[in-house]
Chain A
């Protein structure tokens, strides 16, 4: 009797466990993340994906700073003294990058992550509310265009080096990746094709973006990026026109003091300055100032690895140039531009636009200068803020002014290439001034061709 009862109990429990065995027992869905198919259904979904695109775009390995820092390292002769132990940057400053350099790989990876994020937004643009559609699409295209521009000028021969129509650029991907297929193994497009893509995106972005948009990309951000891109291509007329559109938007103004163009020294997050046309946002919770990491002394949250040569400072800046004060002594000399671990990363400042317009006007010498301002007038705007008077505005003056004004902001390498200026004894178009295609990427994608010299 007792046994029968127990048998029944056992069978009941077996049945129970078998019943619960149905699919439910194995159906466990993630709670931290959501399925791809559920991610981009509403206007808000796409808008938050756009914000996500900024976070990848602004990673320390991309517009958050490192590729600009690395470009300056490659162009360095005697300004930066490197005391760090990051082998990746030792290779960079020695102009002997290895294919396996992980910083190089990170630039590539994060650049394309930003592109894929933007592609997700662009592909789902139909979901966005009509009133916001242009803004969202414009921002995504700004991110994509700026990403392609940055990648092509680092990983490929300069636009003015040989034939951009045949020189290899970087792969172009314009659709979001939802599955890995044969089509995911993309070959390198030509330099010209990548520039064309970047121009298309940035032009479209400029057309669609609003004039003001908080700290997100604006019409002027896109125009400014186009100005920088056209200047790199040597298309001075287009560069001047684009820079002029930024200046005449009147949405930006130079700070009274040079130092105020940059985040205040310390560790308090701040807002963009009045001359920031575009800056990557850093807060205590998100973003990372990739310049501060190496240029900042440890008092200001950096590693203090990239010291600025006192001799270079003294020989580069006139004593009465206010910009000579944008360095601080913390055992060694450091640039004050990045002395804030939570400072926004300045990507594009108004003074660059004045210098682009001035340079293009000098080079083209049109009957009436673009913007109605002479190179001397534009140059004076930049120099007078630094407390200097301006008497001449030759091409050499303007190029030199770029060095003074934009030092350590990532311009040195790209200016050297477009002006065909050798770096020390290294030819401006030497192979070792171009990033290698990361070995990891070569291993993963057999359709890629390595750059010469690697």
Chain B
């Protein structure tokens, strides 16, 4: 193999060119308004090897053969021009390219003209990402790339965002795309020590990003082989530009509010429904024979209910007059939290050295009390031409973020869980003058639950991240068209999570003298890429390019956790002061990938394109038998508009059809999933112990996805209307599945290659220039349909949360629930359809009050089938306005908190949503809310009762800007000045009754567990004002 590679490279290197040169031409290349274009290339037509570039002032000098007739002048972003040679001075002006279709886009290990792409990839450029009050760039990407579903789990800052490219391609292995920043696979994913995920991607400053490419089909992504089946996101950061150093400063400041509120019962309603629930339960006890008379039962319950109401009313009878009417929901949100963002960047360079320096300070306060996020980041991208054929450079990104986090959605200490507290409970306990539930006093059972507001003042969870991503690289032009690139990078992530729970949080932590946690996470991810790229012309009309290279990545993660209790006082929060140390652990885990890759493209006559790529990937994660996998892909395209029959068309300016097919893989499983393991975590009573921790599967191998993509790119009316349309069929086999095994084995799951799923869909992207001229109006639309279906799971049903399931024949995460039939008008029982199927296939639609007897049905898909985004941009004179709408459809949402908050007071003393007042009260009542029966759990089991439609359309961004004219600018000595106002999540139309339809409770989110709401915070509505200044 080694020898083979070597000889292959050698064969590339021997090609060299020698020409006789006997004539010198010089000149200047400019824009139409006579600005010089530095770096433009000038070459002899037919002999591209004879060429040069313009210097910083746009001037060039080139020796050419005496018989040279025509020069070709080109520069990225401008239309190429052919100029006839006459005399020794040739000046030319290049016109700007006005269509995106000829842009150069970033692809794996290189760049390519967009026109020559044969695969499917979505491009989003800086102008669509900048100046938005977001924490992480994925939020800015939402709705802007067709086929890419981006959804936040909740409205907490810096927390998990789910990204799915063309649907989930896996069931229990990871389904997140691979993230590549400037050629480097960076550490991504969740490094949170709580069950609520954070994202390592949040360390990247969105405003440093020049472009994002989402590689979707196999031909685009298979160059990343074993990790490409969930798509690849290529992020390219801003680079230096030749010319005078420009300094840009931006500032953005805004105020956030929750995008929606949810209504709960007031004091009067709360007292009413609980009293009624006591009566309801008394009636059941009486019917069960526990009491001799109904009156006796009611009396007993009434005494109990009144005593509880007294307790929750701070021990007095104020509840009887509804004197206290606390709105805990409203109290969970902060007053006018501020978002601020300041960016300063410098770009410049000359023909030898170019640089980009960017810095940002970001300070966001969340809508939920106690939540904030700060980030300071800097970037230096530098390149230097050492000689005429060697270019070296560094990309350096460093950042420091501080996230004051909240408890996960499932914790009593999560502020929004305070909605469960009673409206009759005062915020301040009049007996102590302290926040209700604060010690000393009635803290252990007052209020109903631990009051999260105690935690706001008496606890903290701060995650501090120091991140450095550094890359050094060199590009060596070995010969005409042959380049060697080598890059080495280290992505170092240091995270420290510090938590302290003060003595007053006792009811939550169970420790009376404080509890402190200190968790350190250290990830070092090194990567090296070494590859040759080659391009040449073959004959007059043929163009060939290829890359060949290797890549090696190793990533090591180390954790350590210490926890201590019993602090002298809450003034001491560091663990040195803890009298008792309760946890001290450390862990380490690592993986590596060794890869070889090759890609070749051939273009004939500017219209016939063919491409092939293959990658061989080896990973430490798999067993010895299956360490390597091979991932080939091929593609074809035909630019029909180059053919004579269309070339002259006035209407059709571009028509390209393309097809690709290939294989990609997925390796997002645990680092040691193939092995049978024992763990030393079996300590008991102070003695060390070991326990079996994992069952072996030596045959474990890659999850494989084959993908077919058929696409069409078009431009109409001189590219006033451009568009792209794709159909894809993605088939994943040998799923990396955590298969439930009989627990009688002592294990509950085994990771194995079992099962199949498919994603098929359509994507449409259309850009139109509706009006050009003084009033400009352009529209960008993305829309996609994805059909996800699991076709085989080996007969397994994965249903861990008893809500979502993975089951053959259904989309992943399908809601699998008993079907709620409403309320029996005769007695107020919650009833369910039996839905049993007899031998003839007839479904029994009779009802039962026993949820156990009701068969589960496939009640809906938590993943949107349709996603879309539409942006309309208007400019008139100095004003610009953009209106961006985004939405999803075809999905459902399950309110898992419903069993507590919408339970017709049948499940305890939790406050109820306002709709529960429509409860069944007397025989004959027709309602969907069952009779309140305290602690009788009437209708609270997981069923379609808590399922609702999840579609929404949202006015995601509305921006109005004003750019000052050059006349004004010249007076104030600025090169650019723009002021703007932008609103995020201004309005949402949805049928969902909860806080926000963009939801998936953080603590339980998996590929399967989607679309579940559990006291999850809504997205913020951020109204902000900003300024961009250019010096």
Where the two chains meet, the residues of A that have a C-beta atom closer than 8 Å to any C-beta of B are: 2-3, 6-7, 10-11, 13-15, 17-21, 25-28, 30-40, 45, 48-56, 58, 77-78, 82-85, 87, 90-91, 94, 96, 98-100, 102, 105, 108-109, 112-113, 115-117, 119-120, 171, 173, 176-180, 184-186, 215, 267, 281, 283-287, 297-299, 301-302, 304, 330-332, 341, 424-425, 438-441, 443-446, 448, 454
Interface: B688 (CB within 8 A): yes
The A-contacting residues of B in range 437-451, CB under 8 angstroms, are 442-446, 450
What is the CA–CA distance of A28 and B627 in the complex, to the nearest angstrom? 12
Q: Are A341 and B510 in contact (CB under 8 A)?
A: yes
Is B691 on the interface with A (CB-CB < 8 A)?
Answer: yes
- Taken together as a complex, chains A and B put the C-alpha atoms of A27 and B507 apart, in Å, by 48
With A90-B937, A297-B445 already in contact, the answer to whether A267 and B685 are too (CB < 8 A) is no
Q: Which of the residues A14, A45, A82, A179 comes within 8 Å of B5, measured between beta carbons?
A: A14
What are 11 A-B pairs with beta-carbon distances under 8 A?
A13-B486, A18-B1, A26-B619, A28-B591, A45-B690, A51-B683, A98-B851, A117-B692, A285-B686, A298-B445, A444-B742
B339 to chain A, nearest CB (A): 36
Minimal beta-carbon separation of B551 from chain A (angstroms): 9
Contact of A58 among B450, B478, B684, B691 (CB under 8 A): B684
A445 x B742 contact (CB < 8 A): yes
**Residues of chain B contacted by A186 (CB below 8 angstroms):** 742, 744
Chain B neighbourhood of A113, CB < 8 A: 743, 746-747
- Name the residue on A nearest B693 (C-beta): A33
Q: Name B353-397 residues within 8 Å CB distance of A.
A: 387, 389-390
Find the B residue at minimum CB distance from A296: B510
Q: Is B90 an interface residue (CB 8 A)?
A: no
B691 touches A56 (CB 8 A): yes
Q: Is the CB of A54 within 8 A of B741?
A: no
**Interface residue from B691, B695, B851 paired with A117 (Cβ < 8 Å):** B691
Cα of A20 to Cα of B387 in the assembled complex, Å: 30
In the complex, residue of chain B having the shortest beta-carbon distance to the beta carbon of A178: B676
Which B residues touch A19, using CB under 8 A? 2
A18 adjacent to B589 (CB under 8 Å): no
Query: Which residues from B are CB-within-8-Å of A18?
Result: 1-2, 5, 550
Question: Is the CB–CB distance between A85 and B476 below 8 Å?
Answer: no
Contact indicator B445/A49 (Cβ below 8 Å): no
- Contact partner of A14 (CB less than 8 A), chosen from B446, B530, B677, B695, is B530
A11 touches which of B6, B506, B675, B745 (Cβ 8 Å): B6
Q: Are B937 and A94 in contact (CB under 8 A)?
A: yes
- Whole-angstrom CA separation of A302 from B509 in the bound complex: 10
- Cα distance, A98 to B619, chains bound together (Å): 43
| Cross-chain contact of A281 among B288, B675, B684, B691 (Cβ < 8 A) | B684
Q: Do B289 and A425 touch across chains, with their CB atoms under 8 A apart?
A: yes
Q: Are B6 and A26 in contact (CB under 8 A)?
A: no
The answer to whether A87 touches B743 (Cβ under 8 A) is no
Q: Are A39 and B311 in contact (CB under 8 A)?
A: no
CA distance A67 to B502 in the complex (A): 33
Please state if B741 and A444 are interface contacts (CB–CB under 8 Å): yes
CA distance A341 to B550 in the complex (A): 56
Query: B683 near A33 (CB under 8 angstroms)?
Result: no
CB–CB B672/A33 < 8 A: yes
- In the complex, the answer to whether A6 meets B747 with C-beta atoms within 8 Å is no
A30 contact from B390, B583, B671, Cβ within 8 A = B671
CA distance A444 to B694 in the complex (A): 17
| A17 CA / B743 CA spacing, docked (Å) | 45
A61 to B903, CA, bound (A): 28
Q: A28-B591, A115-B746, A284-B580 are in contact. Are A90 and B852 (CB under 8 A)?
A: no
The one of B484, B550, B851 that contacts A17, using a Cβ cutoff of 8 Å: B550
Q: Is B70's beta carbon under 8 Å from chain A?
A: no
How far in angstroms is the closest Cβ of chain B from A419?
Answer: 21
7 A-B pairs besides A34-B677, A51-B688 with CB distance below 8 A are A17-B530, A34-B680, A35-B675, A87-B899, A286-B686, A331-B442, A424-B288
Q: Which 5 A-B pairs have the closest CB atoms?
A: A116-B746, A52-B682, A51-B689, A281-B685, A36-B676
**Cα(A207)–Cα(B900), bound, Å:** 52
B940 interface residue (CB < 8 Å to A): yes
Complex Cα spacing A55 to B694, Å: 16
Contacts of A2 in B (CB 8 A): 387
Q: Which residue of B lies closest to A344 (CB)?
A: B685
**Which residues of chain B have C-beta atoms less than 8 A from A297's C-beta?**
444-445
Contact A25 B594 (CB under 8 A): yes
Complex interface bits, B572-585 against A, C-beta within 8 A gives 1, otherwise 0: 00000000101100
Look across to chain A and name the residue whose beta carbon is closest to the beta carbon of B590.
Answer: A28
Most buried by B among A27, A116, A444: A444
What residues on B are CB-neighbors of A440 within 8 Å?
Answer: 740, 743, 799-800
What's the tally of chain B residues with a CB closer than 8 Å to chain A? 103
Inter-subunit contact B937/A33 (CB<8 Å): no
Query: B745, A51: Cβ atoms under 8 Å?
Result: no
Q: Which residues of A contact B530 (CB under 8 A)?
A: 13-14, 17
In the complex the two chains form, what is the Cα distance from A185 to B672 in whole Å? 25
Residues A109 and B683 in contact, CB atoms below 8 Å apart: no
**CA gap between A217 and B796 in the complex, in Å:** 39
Residues on B with beta carbons closer than 8 Å to the beta carbon of A448:
742
How far is B691's CA from A117's CA once the two chains are assembled, in angstroms?
7
- B696 close to chain A: CB less than 8 A: yes
The interface residues of chain B lying within 8 Å CB-to-CB of A424 are: 288-290
| Whole-angstrom distance between the Cβ of A439 and the nearest chain B Cβ | 8
Instruction: Give A122 Cβ to nearest chain B Cβ, in Å.
Output: 13
B689 & A331 in contact (Cβ 8 Å cutoff) = no
Q: Which residue of B lies closest to A426 (CB)?
A: B288
Closest to A453 in B: B852
What is the CB-to-nearest-CB distance from B296 to chain A, in angstroms, rounded to a whole number?
13
Q: Are B683 and A82 interface neighbours, CB within 8 A?
A: no
Task: Judge whether B679 and A32 touch: CB under 8 Å.
Answer: yes
Among the listed B486, B678, B685, B935, which residue makes an inter-chain contact with A33, where contact means beta carbons less than 8 Å apart?
A: B678
Q: How near does chain A come to B697, taking the closest CB pair, in angstroms?
A: 8
Contact partner, A52, options B590, B676, B684, Cβ 8 Å = B684
Q: Is the CB of A284 within 8 A of B695?
A: no
The chain A residue sitting closest to B934, CB to CB, is A83
Closest B residue to A54 using CB positions: B684
B445 neighbours in A (Cβ, 8 Å): 297-298, 304, 330-332
> Which residues of chain B are near A438, meaning CB under 8 Å?
743
Please report the C-alpha to C-alpha distance between residue A440 and residue B745 in the assembled complex, in whole angstroms. 14
Q: Determine the distance from Cα of A444 to Cα of B798 in the docked complex, in whole angstroms.
A: 9
- The distance in angstroms between the C-alpha atoms of A246 and B390, with both chains bound, is 87
Nearest chain A CB to B1006 CB, angstrom units: 15
Nearest B-chain residue to A271, judged by Cβ:
B685
Nearest CB on A from B615, distance (A)? 14
**Among A25, A53, A285, contact of B582 (Cβ-Cβ < 8 Å):** A285
> Closest chain A residue to B510 by CB distance?
A301
Find the residue from B290, B510, B937 having the highest chain A CB count within 10 A. B510
A112 touches B444 (CB 8 A): no
- Mark each residue of chain B from 489 to 513: 1 if its CB lies under 8 Å from any CB of chain A, else 0: 0000000000000000011001110
Given A7-B13, A15-B2, A284-B580, residue A331 in contact with residue B444 (CB < 8 A): yes
User: Residue on B with the closest CB to A102?
Assistant: B802
Q: How far is the CB of A127 from chain B (nearest CB, A)?
A: 13
Q: A267 and B511: CB pair below 8 A?
A: yes
CA distance A425 to B284 in the complex (A): 13
B1003 at the interface (CB under 8 A from A): no
- If the complex has contacts A58-B684, A117-B692, are A298 and B552 also in contact, measured as CB distance less than 8 A? no
Cα distance A55–B942 in the bound complex, in angstroms: 33
Kindly list chain B residues whose C-beta atoms are within 8 Å of the C-beta of A87: 899, 907, 937, 940-941
Q: A267-B511, A301-B510 are known contacts. Are A36 and B589 too (CB-CB below 8 A)?
A: no
Taking the closest CB of chain A, its distance from the CB of B252, in whole angstroms, is 43
Give the residues in chain A near B591, CB-CB below 8 Å: 28
Contact of A331 among B311, B565, B746 (CB under 8 A): B311
**Least Cβ distance of A303 to chain B in Å?**
9
Q: Is B936 an interface residue (CB 8 A)?
A: yes
Contact for A32 among B387, B565, B588, CB less than 8 A: B588
Contacts of A58 in B (CB 8 A): 684
- Please give, as numbers and ranges, the residues of chain B lying within 8 Å of A48 by CB-CB distance: 680, 682, 687-690
